[in-house]
Structure 1
């Protein structure tokens, strides 16, 4: 095979590879990014053949440059777990949330509307709250939020240590977020239901404590971790709704294929929800029940909410390379 025949046969494949590399170098999203390793291997074979057949420095130099560019991209994406995590947290996750801002507000409304409705209804007719919590739920709220000293004693007797509290809370929070996410498999209906259910239940708990318990013990406990936990719930809802929309509107793809493709693009939201849930458990287990002044707890809670607002609005903007 002559040099001309070799170039003619592979020219289009090389151009596709070069376009893919250029888009990834610029940090642009590319639906064919997962094909880079395969195309990289094919190009390595082409380079080896060109060198073996002595097709000249012009062709081998071009292929070698393309191989080096592909290698640098693959190495960059696979190296340094901590660096990749930092890039995801600083850039990839907030960008993913902003990219699905409509789903963010939909899931937020589905949680916060019933939350405030139930919390405020307790001042007018507590029967709704009582029906939502039930006798066992109200008894549990009385034990937990009857007062600051009673709350700390209850937690210590229930869990024994801060670490055990952390373990319980991460188990509980992950279970909630998983149900919200997995509910998307029911065409999104399950996700909306679990968001609504949690809004009703948590709002009922807040309303009951405001009327029949010790509000200070409740709000000082939840202030610190509330932003992590509730936003993690909303992000899990976004991921679940993405699955639901893939089932309802698969486009030209078969539903199974559309669901598989959507799952890959939903990973940043799933990882982000897991990150927020883990941080919520850390704060809840090691800070929320600590006997510190109430004003300090409120200040920390407000700071975290403002920090999350700034993070999701501005983090990752103007950054050239995203994970």
Structure 2
């Protein structure tokens, strides 16, 4: 095909792409703007073909300029990291959680039933808690929560040295737990189920033992502020792990590898959100939970955290078109 025939055949498409790009650059999208990505890909193919056939430089420069403008327009969102992060926090994350509401309730049941069961065992049969925590676990609970808040703060300062070191320890611990819950979901959901139940038992046993043998006020005032971020983040990580596991268990008509890849796309917003919640929980644990703040204020912050999370997941992102 001669350069003239090639240009005559494709010129209308280039003019249309130029019109769509110009409108988008001015912030006034033209009709048919949804076709811009397809037309951009076609222009890229035309540019590659023109270069391969060594068409005149003027034609190649025209196509190259058009492709550069299209690239800057389509991929400029990658440079808006903060804008994308805010959009995800305001709409994308709560939408992703609501979309997987069945997994939310399943993971909640897997965690909360063992949690409250172990808490209740403190009133009926403390041996269950003793078996779950062991001698070292009970001794650690008594050292941290056996006395009043002053003893707890002193113990934490001796163990970690500074607020920042507490933050570093807790973010390492929390990320490790969430990663276990998420990554083990690839074993056909079995790993995620195990770790959700296990953490429900351990945390419920700790809460039950604090009520039974320690100072409950010291324990609950410490965990109140970060509890909603940490525990809900754990459940969201479980949702991501279960979605990966379902990609293994139920590939449908897709090859199993493709099914897992598609499941990963759905799980990605969930694990991003869980990571953010875990980081916020660690900030609270390191810089707030062990501070000498009146107990009523700590409880108030904790209750506000749970109320805000319920409102966030139920309300945020409604009416906003999913990306």
| Fold agreement, TM-score > 0.5 | yes
TM-aligned CA deviation for residue 263 of structure 1: 1.3
Matches within 5 A, 1:49-64: none
Match of 1:134 in 2: 134
TM-aligned CA deviation for residue 182 of structure 1: 1.1
Query: Which moved further from structure 2: 141-150 or 161-170?
Result: 141-150
On the 8 A contact 1:246/1:258 being kept in 2, the answer is yes
TM-aligned CA deviation for residue 213 of structure 1: 0.7
Post-superposition Cα deviations, 1:245-302, rounded to whole Å, max 9, x if no partner, equal 0000011222122112221232111111110000000001000011111110000000
Match of 1:33 in 2: none
- Secondary structure class of the residue paired with 2:254: coil
- CA 157–252 in structure 1, closer or farther in 2 if over 3 Å, else same: same
TM-aligned CA deviation for residue 74 of structure 1: 2.4
Structure 1 CA distance, aligned partners of 2:174 and 2:181? 11
Post-superposition Cα deviations, 1:63-117, rounded to whole Å, max 9, x if no partner, equal x6x99677533223x1221111111111111111111010011001100011001
Match of 1:18 in 2: none
On the 8 A contact 2:222/2:289 being kept in 1, the answer is yes
TM-aligned CA deviation for residue 161 of structure 1: 0.2
Query: Which moved further from structure 2: 143-152 or 219-228?
Result: 143-152
Structure 1 CA distance, aligned partners of 2:259 and 2:72? 30
On the 8 A contact 1:227/1:301 being kept in 2, the answer is yes
Aligned length: 294
Match of 1:164 in 2: 165
Structure 2 CA distance, aligned partners of 1:85 and 1:321? 14
Structure 1 CA distance, aligned partners of 2:235 and 2:217? 26
- Structure possessing the higher radius of gyration over alpha carbons: 2
TM-aligned CA deviation for residue 157 of structure 1: 0.1
Unaligned segments of structure 2, at least 5 residues:
18-23
On the 8 A contact 1:114/1:200 being kept in 2, the answer is yes
Structure 2 CA distance, aligned partners of 1:130 and 1:72? 62
On the 8 A contact 2:95/2:322 being kept in 1, the answer is no
Q: Does 1:193 align with 2:191?
A: no
Post-superposition Cα deviations, 1:48-77, rounded to whole Å, max 9, x if no partner, equal 96x97999xxxx99xx6x99677533223x
TM-aligned CA deviation for residue 45 of structure 1: 4.4
- CA 286–109 in structure 1, closer or farther in 2 if over 3 Å, else same: same
On the 8 A contact 2:112/2:200 being kept in 1, the answer is yes
Match of 2:229 in 1: 228
On the 8 A contact 1:43/1:67 being kept in 2, the answer is no
On the 8 A contact 2:40/2:70 being kept in 1, the answer is no
Structure 2 CA distance, aligned partners of 1:264 and 1:206? 36
Structure 2 CA distance, aligned partners of 1:137 and 1:320? 48
- Secondary structure class of the residue paired with 1:260: helix
Structure 2 CA distance, aligned partners of 1:153 and 1:80? 44
On the 8 A contact 2:186/2:244 being kept in 1, the answer is yes
Query: Which moved further from structure 2: 258-267 or 96-105?
Result: 258-267
On the 8 A contact 2:192/2:242 being kept in 1, the answer is yes
Match of 2:252 in 1: 251
- Secondary structure class of the residue paired with 2:289: coil
On the 8 A contact 1:44/1:67 being kept in 2, the answer is no
Match of 1:107 in 2: 107
Structure 1 CA distance, aligned partners of 2:221 and 2:232? 18
